[in-house]
């Protein structure tokens, strides 16, 4: 296969991944790694490097809009970025130690959980009462824009959220993804944030987490421009297109289809990893 044909096919796959990621809220990075490794037989470490580059690009573009609209909690995001960055550096360092087959198995498990979270409708359980003393001291509580005006919410269980963010950072660095599912879970379920605040703040944080990991990947030589460039452009264009059609799209159906696709990819990654180990 020529370089031009390879780049065109990778761009097309990344375009679809970015569009689906924008419509489902999971991001395109979760599809990029299995797509590159299973369909194009790219080494998993180079696939993860390309995925991280695409995550940085899409997060940077979307985060500005979310901050402007007032959904993202910037103070909380910057505080939790300390945890995710430390975890991402540790996870990226582990890629030189952990076997690619083990990484495939871990990635398959993360994909299965991502599919489960994608199929479940978000549940709101917001409260403005009993904030964590640490959240009060650091002024992490905030308000969410609603049609009836700003709605206050209190950040809870800050230490637990911080620990979970370290784990999210490790997954991000080890697997080459934004690990937005884990970040949203930590802020939505553990810290009691509104779902939209959780997703937008997660998107605000993902770019910084991915950038920390990408530096280690670049140092180790795992970022190949021939792979990373069409992936980055494709995911970015797909995400922008997906954001435009989001209002009129049957999101529930798309989330279900996306979950089915993720399960198929997860099974393929698990089989590949187990066969490699065996």
Neighbours of 70 (CB within 10 A): 14
CA distance 59 to 172: 14
Minimum mean pLDDT among 10-24, 88-102, 213-227, 248-262: which range? 248-262
Residues 242, 197, 120, 31, CA torsion sign: positive
CA distance 260 to 230: 25
Average pLDDT score, the chain:
81
pLDDT given for residue 128 in this prediction: 65
Q: What percent of the chain has pLDDT over 70?
A: 84
pLDDT given for residue 82 in this prediction: 93
Neighbours of 128 (CB within 10 A): 12
> pLDDT grade, residue 137 (50/70/90)?
very high
pLDDT (tens digit, 9 = 90+) per residue, 38-87? 888 898 889 988 988 888 877 766 666 666 777 788 899 999 999 999 99
> Would you say 88 and 210 are in contact if contact means Cβ atoms under 8 Å apart?
yes
Minimum mean pLDDT among 26-40, 118-132, 183-197, 228-242: which range? 118-132
Minimum mean pLDDT among 4-18, 192-206, 213-227, 247-261: which range? 247-261
pLDDT given for residue 278 in this prediction: 44
Residues 6+ apart with CB under 8 A from 82: none
pLDDT at 124 over 70: no
Residues 6+ apart with CB under 8 A from 38: 265, 268, 269, 272
pLDDT given for residue 75 in this prediction: 92
> Would you say 171 and 182 are in contact if contact means Cβ atoms under 8 Å apart?
yes
Average pLDDT over residues 138-147: 86
Q: Which of 17, 20, 2 is nearest to 245 (CA)?
A: 20
């Amino acid at each position: 296969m020529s370089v031009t044909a390879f780049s065109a096919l990778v761009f097309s796959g990344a375009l679809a991944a970015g569009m689906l990621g924008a419509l489902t809220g999971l991001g395109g990075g979760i599809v990029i790694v299995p797509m590159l490794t299973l369909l194009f037989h790219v080494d998993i470490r180079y696939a993860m490097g390309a995925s991280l580059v695409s995550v940085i690009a899409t997060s940077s573009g979307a985060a500005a809009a979310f901050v402007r609209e007032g959904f993202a909690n910037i103070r909380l995001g910057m505080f939790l970025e300390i945890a995710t960055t430390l975890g991402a550096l540790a996870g990226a360092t582990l890629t030189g130690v952990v076997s690619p087959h083990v990484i495939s198995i871990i990635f398959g498990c993360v994909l299965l959980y991502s599919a489960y979270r994608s199929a479940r409708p978000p549940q709101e359980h917001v409260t403005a009462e009993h904030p964590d003393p640490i959240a009060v001291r650091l002024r992490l509580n905030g308000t969410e824009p609603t049609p009836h005006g700003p709605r206050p919410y209190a950040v809870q269980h800050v230490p637990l959220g911080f620990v979970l963010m370290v784990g999210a950072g490790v997954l991000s660095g080890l697997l080459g993804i934004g690990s937005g599912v884990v970040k949203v879970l930590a802020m939505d379920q553990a810290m009691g944030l509104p779902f939209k605040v959780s997703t937008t703040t997660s998107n605000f944080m993902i770019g910084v987490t991915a950038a920390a990991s990408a530096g280690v990947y670049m140092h180790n030589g795992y970022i190949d421009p021939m792979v990373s460039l069409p992936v980055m452009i494709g995911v970015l264009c797909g995400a922008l297109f997906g954001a435009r059609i989001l209002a009129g799209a049957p999101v529930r159906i798309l989330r279900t289809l996306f979950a089915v696709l993720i399960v198929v990819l997860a099974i393929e990654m698990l089989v590949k990893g187990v066969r490699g180990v065996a």
